[in-house]
Chain A
Amino acid sequence: MSGPFFDEMHNPDGSLRELYRQIQEWIDENPPDFIEMKRREAEFLYRRTGITFAVYSEGGSTERIIPFDIIPRLIDANEWDLLRRGLTQRAQALNAFLADVYSDQRILKERIVDPALILLNSAYEPEMQGVKVPGDVYTHIAGIDIVRVGPEEFYVLEDNARTPSGVSYMLENREMMMRLFPDLFTRYAVAPVDRYPEELLATLASVAPPRISGEPTTVLLTPGRYNSAYYEHSFLADMMGIELVEGQDLFVSDTVVYMRTTEGPKRVDVIYRRVDDAFIDPLTFNPDSMLGVPGLMTAYRAGNVVLANAVGAGIADDKSVYTHVPDMIRFYLDQEPILKNVPTYKCSEADDLAYTLEHLEELVVKEVHGSGGYGMLVGPKATKEEREKFAEKLKAMPDQFIAQPTLALSTVPTYVNEGIAPRHVDLRPFILCGSEITIVPGGLTRVALKEGSLVVNSSQGGGTKDTWVITGEQARYA
């Protein structure tokens, strides 16, 4: 996992990979100022449509658009088949693990996973112990981050089992590409992604409370318009044709959830919630929360409403639990993992901590409960001082950190100020788990726009690309 970076457009000898031939020709055919014009058009369209995210900082938050790169990232049918199988397997294992942890705890009893790691973990939710959820599905929407380091080499960087975001960019990026470059779509058979909202709604309906006979009433619960992902919440609610509700729109009476409508109270069956566990019910969790619904947990435990994703699903994506996912796959599914984990050092263990401290300049160190690229150290990019400061933090709270080798993330050509240059990417596919598992081909490709940067998070200067899964022959008119 060291050495030169794998560029997805080129072979190691610099020659073009066949998959990207039409892209190269398209770039060659179009003068740079045409491309520049299209880039500006894309930015204008994003801003006008209000596709923004909020960046939190000390001075409050501001609305920004996420930079969009117009060169698509291509995945061929075989590569996708491998990913699809691997992701399905992993999502199955994560759900089996959650169902087990919150019921019989077989995996703990058999000491496959250390009970202390789970039961003493702040992401483990005792409120959920013994609660049955329809279909035993806990993580209905999982975002599993994939990085690529070679032609056949994919690694799972992390699992997101709580409320993964970014799918609206996947959908909007495709809309944008089809609008800006319709001719490019005549050169490739690109698997469509626009069925995602429909499949999400079907997934949610498939795990509705069993008492429902007809169409369940489904809503999307958002923290509100000041949340960084608010655009996505409203976009998805709109595409699914369901109400976008805030905590104040819902109330619980006799363990039943209702929403306040202009025609009076209306019963709610399924809540696709984009509010974190801690804020969802002030009576059970954070009493100061204004975002939640008092009494929601009572209704949930009574089986009168389904929450997606389930409360407590975070124990499956905790970074200290991540190392055990291959064991889960073997334990619950009796299969070998199709997708590999990145080797991970748990700083809570003395040997691993010692190794991490010795090799800080070549490791990436992350907070166990962190997300969004905040509070992490990228060893090779950090200064000596930064590393020394971080080492102090590590020694003070070793169990708050894990370390991983700095992966040679693959690169994809990207438009930057200097022209076209390789930039590092990752991939977040969205796995929908209901009565069956579905994955829309592709996902969200995030790209680190700074030269040499390996951090793709939008809050840290990352952008996105449209992700194309090429079906059938590589190119229609090769």
Chain B
Amino acid sequence: MLSRTADSLFWMARYMERAENLARLLEVGHRLAITPGETGGNEWLSTVTIAGCGQDFFETHQNATAQTVTDFLGLSEHNSYSIPSCIANARGNGRAVRTALTSSMWESLNGTWLDLETKRREALSGTGVIDYLDWIKDRSMQFTGAITSTMLRSDAYYFTQMGTLLERADNTARILDVKYHVLLPEHEAVGGGLDFYQWNAILRAVTANRAYHYLYRDSLQPWLIAEMLILRSELPRSLVGCLAGVTDCLEKLSNAYGARKDCVRMANALHADLAYGKIEDIFQQGLHEFLTDFLRRNYALADQIQRDYLL
């Protein structure tokens, strides 16, 4: 297939996944804001930090509040980080390679884009932000559903999947990293005190609160939450879960093309480190250091995939 087509599919999937993740992040922010306990409003600061747009945000805003952050990340059309920008980019990439999309995929993607303005206006009227975020999540999941249920299992599918998975891994790592620091009360050491509601909110961000109780049958413990989000392959949004998917796609692609590229080695190495990693070692190294390193390697892998196939 055309390199440009593969590239557009890859980014279409990434942007759609990013829109969903932003919706999840904002939902968590709104949830934290109404739960008991003093967070001092720093959940909004952390939300901006996770999204990786702190600098740009504070160029135009004084304070991170429910209003400003929801507007900036959720509703604004004037910055490239926001949900509307992600949807527009996803649709733009999809439209550029329409022939590579099934009609279900296209209609889902285009339908989201067409209805976005109405939904945005409803949300702006002040009452409907949560409904709006739910709608974004629904549309994203409908889209990934259309991908898995209608797309041929050929190279186009693998590039699309990898876009979703690499973006998802990036997001899970960011949620864990930033929340881990921001959520801790200032004078308590990491791993010390635990605010149930706040950790619960992290789990909600990745729809894993039930999964946690199923896997651990224990009260919420930071290191177990970290272990689940990093090392448990059962959790589809865990780092190891996402990377298992990526290596699988690359294996199939290599077999189909009859050639193994550099990115295959990188993906397998990263996956192996997660698959055989232990949470004790990660804490020994320092969770923040581990996650920073993961984000760097995940980024390098995406970059290598682009070099090997998409240019």
Question: Which of B30-38, B54-62, B92-100, B272-280 is the contact stretch?
Answer: B92-100
Give the docked Cα–Cα distance between A244 and B96 (Å): 9
Task: Collect the chain B residues with CB atoms within 8 Å of residue A261's CB.
Answer: 1-3
Give residues 94-125 of B contacting A (CB, 8 Å). Answer: 95-99, 103, 106-107, 110-111, 114
Chain B CB count within 10 A is highest, among A238, A259, A260, A263, for A263
Give the docked Cα–Cα distance between A245 and B114 (Å): 26
Task: Collect the chain A residues with CB atoms within 8 Å of residue B257's CB.
Answer: 262-263
The residue that A238 contacts in the complex, of B98, B111, B114, B310, with Cβ under 8 A, is B98
Does residue A318 face the partner (Cβ distance < 8 Å to B)?
no
4 more A-B contacts (CB under 8 A) besides A48-B107, A48-B110? A49-B107, A244-B99, A260-B3, A263-B259
Give residues 256-284 of A contacting B (CB, 8 Å). Answer: 259-263
Does residue A199 face the partner (Cβ distance < 8 Å to B)?
no
In the complex, the chain A residue whose C-beta lies closest to that of B257 is A263
A348-366 CB mask vs B (1 if < 8 Å, else 0) is 0000000000000000000
Assess the B96–A224 pair: CB atoms within 8 A: yes
Assess the A259–B2 pair: CB atoms within 8 A: yes
Assess the B96–A225 pair: CB atoms within 8 A: yes
Give the docked Cα–Cα distance between A35 and B259 (Å): 57
Where chain B touches its partner, the secondary structure class is helix
Give the docked Cα–Cα distance between A261 and B310 (Å): 8
Give the docked Cα–Cα distance between A15 and B290 (Å): 85
Task: Collect the chain A residues with CB atoms within 8 Å of residue B107's CB.
Answer: 48-49
Give the docked Cα–Cα distance between A248 and B1 (Å): 14
* B276 CB to nearest A CB, Å: 31
Task: Collect the chain B residues with CB atoms within 8 Å of residue A259's CB.
Answer: 2
Give the docked Cα–Cα distance between A48 and B112 (Å): 10
Task: Collect the chain A residues with CB atoms within 8 Å of residue B6's CB.
Answer: 262
In the complex, the chain A residue whose C-beta lies closest to that of B92 is A225
A-B contact pairs, 16 of them (CB 8 A): A47-B114, A48-B107, A50-B106, A230-B95, A234-B98, A237-B99, A238-B98, A245-B2, A245-B4, A249-B4, A260-B4, A261-B1, A262-B2, A262-B155, A262-B159, A262-B257
Does residue A136 face the partner (Cβ distance < 8 Å to B)?
no
* B98 CB to nearest A CB, Å: 4
Does residue B135 face the partner (Cβ distance < 8 Å to A)?
no
B46-86 CB mask vs A (1 if < 8 Å, else 0) is 00000000000000000000000000000000000000000
Task: Collect the chain B residues with CB atoms within 8 Å of residue A260's CB.
Answer: 2-4, 311
Does residue B294 face the partner (Cβ distance < 8 Å to A)?
no
Closest 3 CB pairs of A and B: A238-B99, A234-B98, A262-B309
* B109 CB to nearest A CB, Å: 9
Assess the B95–A48 pair: CB atoms within 8 A: no
Does residue A246 face the partner (Cβ distance < 8 Å to B)?
yes
Chain A CB count within 10 A is highest, among B1, B2, B110, for B2
Task: Collect the chain B residues with CB atoms within 8 Å of residue A327's CB.
Answer: none
Q: How many residues of B contact A (CB 8 A)?
A: 25
A236-255 CB mask vs B (1 if < 8 Å, else 0) is 01100001111011000000
Contacts A49-B107, A50-B110 hold; do A246 and B95 have CB atoms under 8 A apart?
no
The residue that B4 contacts in the complex, of A234, A238, A246, with Cβ under 8 A, is A246
The residue that B111 contacts in the complex, of A48, A224, A245, with Cβ under 8 A, is A48
Task: Collect the chain B residues with CB atoms within 8 Å of residue A263's CB.
Answer: 257, 259
* B305 CB to nearest A CB, Å: 10
Give the docked Cα–Cα distance between A225 and B111 (Å): 18
Task: Collect the chain A residues with CB atoms within 8 Å of residue B114's CB.
Answer: 47-48
Task: Collect the chain A residues with CB atoms within 8 Å of residue B2's CB.
Answer: 243, 245, 249, 259-262
Task: Collect the chain A residues with CB atoms within 8 Å of residue B106's CB.
Answer: 49-50
Give the docked Cα–Cα distance between A125 and B97 (Å): 33
Give the docked Cα–Cα distance between A224 and B107 (Å): 20
Task: Collect the chain A residues with CB atoms within 8 Å of residue B99's CB.
Answer: 234, 237-238, 243-244
Give the docked Cα–Cα distance between A295 and B99 (Å): 27
The residue that B310 contacts in the complex, of A230, A244, A262, with Cβ under 8 A, is A262
Task: Collect the chain A residues with CB atoms within 8 Å of residue B5's CB.
Answer: 243
* B181 CB to nearest A CB, Å: 40
Task: Collect the chain A residues with CB atoms within 8 Å of residue B4's CB.
Answer: 245-246, 248-249, 260
* B290 CB to nearest A CB, Å: 33
B1-33 CB mask vs A (1 if < 8 Å, else 0) is 111111000000000000000000000000000
Give the docked Cα–Cα distance between A218 and B117 (Å): 39
* A45 CB to nearest B CB, Å: 10
In the complex, the chain B residue whose C-beta lies closest to that of A45 is B107
* A224 CB to nearest B CB, Å: 7
Give the docked Cα–Cα distance between A50 and B98 (Å): 10
* B148 CB to nearest A CB, Å: 21
